[in-house]
């Protein structure tokens, strides 16, 4: 088969990144996004190690760097704002706590969409209502009424993926709550924030509040985290989410109450549980999953975006290299991705666990050990990226290689 007609659900990070690579490999791509337009919001996401190399191969290094938050570093503070610890963005060769490439999730989504909008069909405000697959293709009925046939369908529709529920089973089977909730929204920068992130963690409770600088210096991104044994707020019920945040942040010190006063006038708001997606397989026939929908490692790993970008590169490459045969293409993608995903999920669980009140009674892992060094190397440097020589590639590789001093 030359080329393929591929439907991708979700236009955040994984979806547009996959659209970029599928188009370059010769496929005709449609992306359907449930929201009426690109969704703003979310705090900064990081690109480390192998994800930086994927951005370079996409030819988007300059565009991504131009949209970065330009955070100099982070201070942790006490309730009175006194600095306790300092981390700099150039620590650990730019791959540390504050990474060299930190970009607001909404800005990265916009860069990826701008890059693909001309060669890809985007359909906003719609979603897959039903699909039926046979040996040669997938019949899709859209909620808006359209019916179309595709060769392949990929779910890049996030942690609460509807496509996963439709084809693989209910979310409870795959989503593991890690005991925390995170929230982010932008506020006026009436706090004198410069290029430094400020993070306040209340001792013993697991609650934290912070402010992150963004490109628009008149505003800042507020960040909150609190422990929660379970999570039963609808992920689309924003008023209920805001109320939950108010309740759980009651009495928290530092500038928290002033930041909460902007909950009703913020133009963006994101709150979600910290959770991972654990699946034995990421494909079923002609339907595959990518990014958080397949294998969320949770924001506590700091690598959800990296996994989405690297997965998009490998999924398109493996499918094209297999002549668009779904079985061989999905198998190659999964085999290359698994060790990378598992390392990041392990780190996400360790980080989430260490923030649960009382967890400091457990001995921390030996960060100097060979085991931890190997885990970290695998989580950051990830899988080898084949160059897919001989596979169609309409776009030249641009930019000079991005190198990192941390060895594989």
Ligand X SMILES: Cc1cc2nc3c(=O)[nH]c(=O)nc-3n(C[C@H](O)[C@H](O)[C@H](O)COP(=O)(O)OP(=O)(O)OC[C@H]3O[C@@H](n4cnc5c(N)ncnc54)[C@H](O)[C@@H]3O)c2cc1C
Binding site for ligand X (CB under 6 A): 9-15, 32-35, 39, 41-43, 45, 105, 127, 156-159, 162, 184, 270, 291-293, 299, 304-305, 308
Distance of closest approach, residue 325 Cβ to ligand X, in angstroms: 24
Q: Tell me if residue 365 falls in helix, strand or coil.
A: coil
Task: Indicate the Cα dihedral angle 130, 140, 151, 28, nearest 10°.
Answer: -130
Distance of closest approach, residue 64 Cβ to ligand X, in angstroms: 13
Distance of closest approach, residue 77 Cβ to ligand X, in angstroms: 21
Our CB check for ligand X shows the closer of 129 and 328 to be: 129
Our CB check for ligand X shows the closer of 98 and 391 to be: 98
CB-based burial label for 25 (10 Å; 0-12, 13-18, 19+) = buried
Our CB check for ligand X shows the closer of 291 and 317 to be: 291
Our CB check for ligand X shows the closer of 13 and 181 to be: 13
* Bridge partners, 288 (sequence order): 154, 283
Distance of closest approach, residue 396 Cβ to ligand X, in angstroms: 26
End-to-end CA gap in the chain: 37
Distance of closest approach, residue 8 Cβ to ligand X, in angstroms: 9
Instruction: Report how far residue 75's alpha carbon sits from residue 78's, in angstroms, rounded to the nearest whole number.
Output: 10
Distance of closest approach, residue 136 Cβ to ligand X, in angstroms: 24
Alpha-carbon radius of gyration of the chain? 21
Contact 10, 35 (CB under 8 A): no
DSSP 299: G
Name the residue among 7, 12, 68, 26 with its Cα closest to residue 296.
Answer: 12
Our CB check for ligand X shows the closer of 32 and 314 to be: 32
Q: Name every residue whose Cβ is closer than 8 Å to that of residue 139 and which is 6 or more positions away in sequence.
A: 131, 132, 133, 147, 148, 149
Our CB check for ligand X shows the closer of 155 and 227 to be: 155
């Amino acid at each position: 088969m030359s080329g393929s007609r591929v439907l991708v659900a979700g236009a955040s990070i994984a979806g547009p990144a996959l659209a970029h690579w599928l188009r370059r490999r010769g496929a005709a791509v449609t992306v359907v996004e449930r929201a009426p337009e690109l969704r703003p919001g979310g705090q900064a996401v990081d690109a480390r190690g192998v994800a930086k190399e994927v951005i370079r191969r996409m030819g988007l290094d300059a565009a991504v760097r131009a949209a970065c938050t330009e955070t100099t570093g982070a201070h942790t503070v006490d309730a009175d704002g006194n600095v306790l610890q300092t981390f700099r963005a150039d620590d650990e060769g730019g791959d540390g706590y504050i990474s060299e490439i930190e970009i607001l999730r909404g800005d990265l989504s916009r860069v990826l969409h701008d890059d693909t909008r001309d060669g890809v069909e985007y359909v906003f405000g719609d979603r897959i209502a039903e699909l039926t697959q046979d040996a040669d293709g997938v019949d899709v009925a859209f909620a808006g009424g359209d019916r179309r046939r595709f060769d392949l369908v990929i779910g890049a529709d996030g942690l609460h993926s509807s496509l996963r529920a439709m084809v693989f089973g209910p979310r409870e089977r795959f989503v593991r709550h890690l005991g925390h909730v995170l929230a982010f929204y932008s506020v006026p920068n009436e706090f004198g924030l410069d290029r430094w992130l400020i993070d306040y963690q209340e001792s013993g409770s697991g609650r934290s509040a912070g402010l992150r600088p963004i490109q628009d210096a008149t505003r800042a991104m507020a960040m909150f985290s609190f422990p929660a044994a379970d999570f039963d707020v609808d992920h689309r019920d924003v008023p209920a989410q805001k109320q939950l945040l108010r309740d759980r942040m009651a009495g928290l010190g530092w500038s928290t109450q002033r930041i909460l006063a902007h909950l009703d006038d913020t133009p963006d708001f994101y709150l979600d549980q910290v959770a991972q997606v654990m699946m034995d397989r990421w494909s079923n026939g002609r339907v595959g999953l990518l990014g958080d929908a397949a294998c969320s490692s949770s924001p506590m790993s700091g690598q959800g975006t990296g996994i989405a970008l690297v997965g998009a590169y490998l999924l398109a490459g493996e499918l094209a290299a297999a002549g668009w045969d779904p079985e061989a293409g999905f198998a190659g993608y999964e085999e290359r991705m698994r060790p990378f995903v598992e390392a990041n999920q392990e780190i996400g669980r360790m980080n989430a666990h260490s923030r649960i009140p009382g967890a400091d009674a457990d001995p921390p892992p030996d960060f100097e050990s060979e085991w931890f060094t190997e885990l970290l190397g695998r989580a950051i440097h990830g899988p080898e990226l084949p160059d897919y020589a001989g596979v169609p590639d309409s776009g030249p590789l641009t930019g000079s290689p991005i190198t990192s001093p941390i060895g594989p």
